[in-house]
């Protein structure tokens, strides 16, 4: 028997209309380096209509891809809303990709138009001649004149293009399963792969982001969206914010700890999201330049494991709870969120909060061992995490890398265990696990243990070849400014925190851990530095 329910389509055109009408006075503040420029959802709605008219005129009439090469700012948000709402496909370009990767993703997605941030124009322009499908470049910030376009490409100024156009637009009816946006993985191994989100997947994901079990966004919130809009859709925060009327603070290109601290002081957001390296940097800055940040009711951390020492520091020294979450570009990205179960108190609650979290109803999970068999959720058995759900990708764009899919499930490449009540602990990424004498050592556990030392700012652990054991851990340590610590002292510090056979015997001190385009530890580069003999290593 069929239901009697209406088959109303979940569409971002409706999301845009809804946000503008219900929450027209919610604010969007873009940081300028000294103060914010402000706009409202209502004004964003009118500008979106103008942008839609302009894009139609440039030939965006169906599901053409429109790329964005931009920081987090009001114009990027206008693109986020307009492009899918008019039935086209938003393609967020990672501004930190290597040049050949950038050319690859633009050509692979066949971008027709690209909106480029004025401040990023030189970076983009160098690669433009190799982008074979791009016909129009729209430049924000009044810098259009600076671009010498190759033949066949027309350059426009964003503001001039919008000026004087009608402030309403007849947003089309959109089939909910059609493509709304695409984002490529950051390509730490091989070419980046395209993930294509649908209107339906973004809608359902936005609802999950707002749920009390997840980020709890409401119209009373002001969210500082640090995680880039070109990385995993900014964790879905912009769409979720439009759904419920959360005001947003967008940091533009000001992502260093100093400017972030200034933004916090001036805008006093109630919520924020960023990868651990951003929070670590901010913590060091705040420790040296104390400031009240208790206006943050909570901050969400994901993208790589949140070090427990950092979670404690924010909560105990700054009165800001840190919410740990796990996800991937392939999972929209919200996969699991670490809110402890109701009965857990004190230390037990903390243990749950260190985990990558519990899966929401729409995300199904299983762990698969080396033989392809499912392992139990007993909190001990380890396997590769596979997930399935309405906002989890079922393939890559163009059918790339089919091995990442297994009977309709996504193979995450993450290795971990799950408790009987559904809390995931990732022990590593499959390629980062250290295989020592037939046993696995978690690089993440070692990193967290070393980073708990007060003199350590950052620590990254890689496996290095070992004749006897196959691989052994090498710890690369960044010492906090003004502090001193030796490898010997750190080994002693670890002695009662990790099993004896896991205690690393190779240590190196570095000025900085190399980072990927999205701010994660770049272990590939660390391994290369080691292989080329560039690291000064103390052995025990």
The contacts of residue 97 (CB under 8 Å, 6+ apart) are: 105, 186, 187, 192, 517
Is residue 138 involved in binding ligand ADP (CB under 6 A)? no
The region of 3-11, 35-43, 133-141, 326-334 touching ligand ADP under the rule CB under 6 A is 326-334
Task: Quote the least distance from Cβ 303 to ligand ADP, whole Å.
Answer: 5
Task: Quote the least distance from Cβ 503 to ligand ADP, whole Å.
Answer: 23
Q: Where are the alpha helices (DSSP H) in 126-225?
A: 158-162, 199-210
Place of tokens 């996800």: 327
- CB of 227 or CB of 487, closer to ligand ADP: 227
Task: Quote the least distance from Cβ 414 to ligand ADP, whole Å.
Answer: 5
425-464 binders of ligand ADP (CB under 6 A): 426, 429
CA angle 341, 346, 352 (to 5 degrees): 40
CA angle 243, 186, 28 (to 5 degrees): 30
The region of 133-141, 154-162, 320-328, 393-401 touching ligand ADP under the rule CB under 6 A is 320-328
Binding mask 508-527 for ligand ADP (x = CB under 6 A): ----------x-x-------
Is 507 exposed, middle or buried (CB count within 10 Å of its CB: 0-12, 13-18, 19+)? buried
DSSP letter string, 445-496: HHHHHHHTSTTEEEEEEEEEEETTTEEEEEEEEEEPTT----HHHHHHHHTT
Task: Quote the least distance from Cβ 393 to ligand ADP, whole Å.
Answer: 11
344-403 binders of ligand ADP (CB under 6 A): 356
Beta-strand pair 154-157/136-139: parallel
Distance separating alpha carbons of residues 538 and 505, to the nearest angstrom? 8
- CB of 60 or CB of 274, closer to ligand ADP: 274
Instruction: Please select the residue that binds ligand ADP; options are 110, 127, 157, 188, rule is CB under 6 A.
Output: 188
Instruction: Please select the residue that binds ligand ADP; options are 71, 171, 239, 326, rule is CB under 6 A.
Output: 326
- CB of 156 or CB of 205, closer to ligand ADP: 205
DSSP H/E element including 346: helix 346-354
- CB of 64 or CB of 185, closer to ligand ADP: 185
Tokens of 21: 């009408």
CA 382, distance to chain mean position in Å, is 25
Is residue 72 involved in binding ligand ADP (CB under 6 A)? no
Binding mask 267-306 for ligand ADP (x = CB under 6 A): -----------------------------------xxxx-
Task: Quote the least distance from Cβ 325 to ligand ADP, whole Å.
Answer: 6
Distance separating alpha carbons of residues 333 and 233, to the nearest angstrom? 8
Task: Quote the least distance from Cβ 341 to ligand ADP, whole Å.
Answer: 18
What residues form DSSP beta bridges with 459? 477
The region of 32-40, 185-193, 233-241, 283-291 touching ligand ADP under the rule CB under 6 A is 185-193
Instruction: Please select the residue that binds ligand ADP; options are 73, 185, 214, 277, rule is CB under 6 A.
Output: 185
- CB of 299 or CB of 426, closer to ligand ADP: 426
CA 149, distance to chain mean position in Å, is 32
- CB of 87 or CB of 302, closer to ligand ADP: 302
Task: Quote the least distance from Cβ 198 to ligand ADP, whole Å.
Answer: 18
Task: Quote the least distance from Cβ 365 to ligand ADP, whole Å.
Answer: 13
- CB of 60 or CB of 337, closer to ligand ADP: 337
Is residue 329 involved in binding ligand ADP (CB under 6 A)? yes
Distance separating alpha carbons of residues 82 and 77, to the nearest angstrom? 9
List the one residue out of 352, 330, 462, 344 whose CA is nearest residue 397.
Answer: 330
DSSP letter string, 12-53: HHHHHHHHHHHSTT-EEEEE-SSSEEEEEHHHHHHHHHHHHH
Query: Which residues are known to be catalytic?
Result: 185, 330, 435, 440
- CB of 10 or CB of 426, closer to ligand ADP: 426
Provide the Cα torsion 184, 134, 108, 141; round to 10°.
-10
Cis status, amide bond into 333, omega within 30 of 0:
yes
Distance separating alpha carbons of residues 84 and 61, to the nearest angstrom? 12
The region of 4-12, 325-333, 453-461, 467-475 touching ligand ADP under the rule CB under 6 A is 325-333
Binding mask 230-269 for ligand ADP (x = CB under 6 A): --x-------------------------------------
> Cα separations (Å) of 44 from 82, 198, 339, 512?
10, 22, 34, 40
- CB of 78 or CB of 384, closer to ligand ADP: 384
The region of 2-10, 70-78, 156-164, 407-415 touching ligand ADP under the rule CB under 6 A is 407-415
Give the residue closest to ligand ADP by C-beta: 186
- CB of 324 or CB of 506, closer to ligand ADP: 324
List the one residue out of 110, 109, 19, 33 whose CA is nearest residue 73.
Answer: 33
Question: Total number of residues binding ligand ADP (CB under 6 A)?
Answer: 22
Is 163 exposed, middle or buried (CB count within 10 Å of its CB: 0-12, 13-18, 19+)? exposed
Q: Which residues bind ligand ADP (CB under 6 A)?
A: 185-186, 188, 232, 302-305, 324-329, 356, 412-414, 426, 429, 518, 520
């Amino acid at each position: 028997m069929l239901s009697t329910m209406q088959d109303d389509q979940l569409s971002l055109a409706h999301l845009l209309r809804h946000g503008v009408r219900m929450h027209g006075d919610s604010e969007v503040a873009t940081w300028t380096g000294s103060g914010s420029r402000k706009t409202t959802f209502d004004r964003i709605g009118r500008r979106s209509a103008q942008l839609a008219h302009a894009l139609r005129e440039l030939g965006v009439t169906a599901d053409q891809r429109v790329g964005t090469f931009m920081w987090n700012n009001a114009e990027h948000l206008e693109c986020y809303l307009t492009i899918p709402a008019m039935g086209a496909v938003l393609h967020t370009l990672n501004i930190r990709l290597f040049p050949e990767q950038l050319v690859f993703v633009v050509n692979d997605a066949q971008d027709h138009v690209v909106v480029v941030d004025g401040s990023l124009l030189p970076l983009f322009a160098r690669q433009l001649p190799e982008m074979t499908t791009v016909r129009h470049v729209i430049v924000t910030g009044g810098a259009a004149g600076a671009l010498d376009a190759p033949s066949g490409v027309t350059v426009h100024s964003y503001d001039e293009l919008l000026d004087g156009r009608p402030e309403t637009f007849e947003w089309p009816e959109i089939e909910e399963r059609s493509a709304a946006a695409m984002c490529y993985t950051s390509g730490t191994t091989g070419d980046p792969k395209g993930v294509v989100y649908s209107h339906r997947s973004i809608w359902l994901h936005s609802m999950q982001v707002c749920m009390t079990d997840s980020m709890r966004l409401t119209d009373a919130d002001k969210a500082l969206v640090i995680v880039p809009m070109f990385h995993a859709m900014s964790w879905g925060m912009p769409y979720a914010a439009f759904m419920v009327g959360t005001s947003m603070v967008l940091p533009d290109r000001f992502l260093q700890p100093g400017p972030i601290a200034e933004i916090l002081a001036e805008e006093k957001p109630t919520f924020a999201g960023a990868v651990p390296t951003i929070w670590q940097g901010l913590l060091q800055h705040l420790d040296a330049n104390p400031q009240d940040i208790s206006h943050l009711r909570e901050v969400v951390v994901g993208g790589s494991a949140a070090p427990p020492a950092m979670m404690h520091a924010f909560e105990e020294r700054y009165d800001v709870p840190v919410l740990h979450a796990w996800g991937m570009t392939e999972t929209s990205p919200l996969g699991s969120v670490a809110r402890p179960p109701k009965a857990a108190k004190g230390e037990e609650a903390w243990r749950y909060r260190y985990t990558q979290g519990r899966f929401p109803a729409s995300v199904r999970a299983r762990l698969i061992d080396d033989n392809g068999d499912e392992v139990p959720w007993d909190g001990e058995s380890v396997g590769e995490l596979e997930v399935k759900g309405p906002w989890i990708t079922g393939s890559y764009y163009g059918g790339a890398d089919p091995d990442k899919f297994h009977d309709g499930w996504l193979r995450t490449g993450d290795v971990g265990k799950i408790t009987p009540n559904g809390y995931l602990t990732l022990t590593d990424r499959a390629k980062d696990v250290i295989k020592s004498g037939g046993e696995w050592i978690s690089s993440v556990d070692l990193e967290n243990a070393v980073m708990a030392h007060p003199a350590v700012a950052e620590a990254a652990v890689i496996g290095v070849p070992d004749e006897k054991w196959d691989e052994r851990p090498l710890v690369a340590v960044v010492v906090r400014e003004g502090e001193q610590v030796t490898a010997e002292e750190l080994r002693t510090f670890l002695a009662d925190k990790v099993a004896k056979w896991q205690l690393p015997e190779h240590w190196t001190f570095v000025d900085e851990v190399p980072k990927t385009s999205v701010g994660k530890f770049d272990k590939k580069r660390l391994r290369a530095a080691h292989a080329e003999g560039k690291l000064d290593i103390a052995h025990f």
